[in-house]
Chain A
């Protein structure tokens, strides 16, 4: 990290309750948007394996101001007073952050970056607020396509050793769904945390409840088109950790044949990485891809 890089700790939002860490290059270019790095699940603002910090510093080296923030109820930030649910709370927080940072930096251009629930929050915030001019969505939404299903079946047959074993597993999942277990299992499937309270302990500071569900494809298609139409830039990056719902680089574009992406879309697939990018080599590849995209697009 350059010795001229500046670090600041701020309390942000309408009530100045959200903890944010600002990292700035030696010289700030006001024409470039500010990056907002959102929490992944309930992990505090440094991210799994400190990835959020390292991504932020890579972006600073590329000349961007970056703010990593604990949204309300996560990390060091207290819960919101208005008791919104997890998703609505996150979107309201992002709007407040942009209000605050917009005054501080005299800008109205931001890019949201997030992994998993952070990606979902980044997307929904972008739909809500036009000050977001771009987003980096790590293991965000995706929808099955025919090539996805074929690859998925082929991988399962390879892994399970026989078509009969795969058929048995598929049948089991259908039964789970019929008795209502499918949704309850979603957080575990996608590596999200169960509720934090352990039995017999006095409750710790509250974290908003969260179950990850993808919105209907048609809704997302409509929202994507709205974003493209306002010149929004987006990088959807998928790891091999979400192979259960994304397994080839062209899947995102194939999922939305009805969206005219023009020049707004970039997709990167990092199949050798797990969801939280545990290998250091995967961490380097992912943050390199993000910084390259930021340089090209802004």
Chain B
């Protein structure tokens, strides 16, 4: 794995390039798109494993952090979906330059899947897209995050623990990360089942749970000309749970399903 920074010298983004394990690499590259906030930390190990699995299959893989997240430059307060979509595009260009591949595929987890689909739309160099437990409905996602945030704080701030009476919270934070009003507004407007998507031909939705929203998304993408497959993976992972935070789960079946969908 080669860690590096790319993009503008003022606002560099962090990338982790996984070259193919075999020098005779396939002419394929995959950009891996992180989820948001705490989910990205919980999923770090799983997405690293996905990159390693792809590299072992002779695919060029690039993990990276959006602006204002992870190791990239920028403050969390500056997080915006529009910027992060541009970052995915920049990462794809970087992967093509680094590896020499002609086409790229996108694989994203949770909010990263939603961003991957947006960033994929209209790209002439797009091969495939894999959406792992995508956030289809931004309002429902925010409500889930809020519920988990409250449950987490209730568990953490006990009479024997930190002093809740002196702890300060603002409405613009969830699970230790800023959610500025601009980002919240973008998330509230997110509905993948109504978005126009062009030039996206092959999509796999890898779903940990049976969720009618995935069926609705598949139907919507099919209407727009995409060949969509839903793969239900029995090993469910709740990315919004304390268990994932503390155990850094690696759901291998889901990883294999995603890798398989991107390497025909």
A residues whose Cβ falls under 8 Å from a Cβ of B: 1, 3, 5, 7-11, 19, 21, 42-46, 48-51, 53-54, 68, 75-76, 155-156, 158-159, 191-196, 198, 200-202, 204-205, 207, 239-241, 243-244, 271-283
B125 at the interface (CB under 8 A from A): no
Interface size for B (C-beta < 8 A) is 52
The 0/1 profile, CB within 8 Å of A marked 1, for residues 164-190 of chain B is 101111100101111000000000000
Report B-chain residues with C-beta under 8 Å of the C-beta of A1.
73-75
Select A240's contact among B1, B74, B76, B161, beta carbons within 8 Å: B161
B16 contacts partner chain A, Cβ-Cβ < 8 Å: yes
Determine if B167 and A50 form an interchain contact, defined as CB atoms under 8 angstroms apart. Answer: no
- Chain B residues contacting A202 (CB-CB under 8 Å) are 252
Interface-central residue, A158, A192, A202, by most chain B CB under 10 Å: A202
> Is B138's beta carbon under 8 Å from chain A?
no
A277 neighbours in B (Cβ, 8 Å)? 176
Known interface pairs A193-B246, A278-B152; A76-B16 also in contact (CB < 8 Å): yes
Complexed CA–CA distance, A158 and B73 (Å): 45
Nearest B residue to A280 by beta-carbon distance? B173
Please determine whether B176 and A271 come into contact, CB atoms closer than 8 angstroms.
no
SS of A interface (majority): loop
CB distance from A150 to the nearest CB of B (A): 15
B174 to chain A, nearest CB (A): 10
The yes or no answer to B216 lying at the interface (CB within 8 A) is no
Cβ–Cβ contact A274 & B156, under 8 A: yes
B208 within 8 A of A: no
Cβ A196 vs Cβ B249 within 8 A: yes
**Chain B hits for A75, CB < 8 A:** 44
Q: Which residue of B lies closest to A272 (CB)?
A: B166
Contacts of A46 in B (CB 8 A): 41, 70-71
Task: Pick from A9, A50, A196, A240: contact of B248, CB below 8 A.
Answer: A196
Whether B75 pairs with A281 at a CB distance below 8 angstroms is no
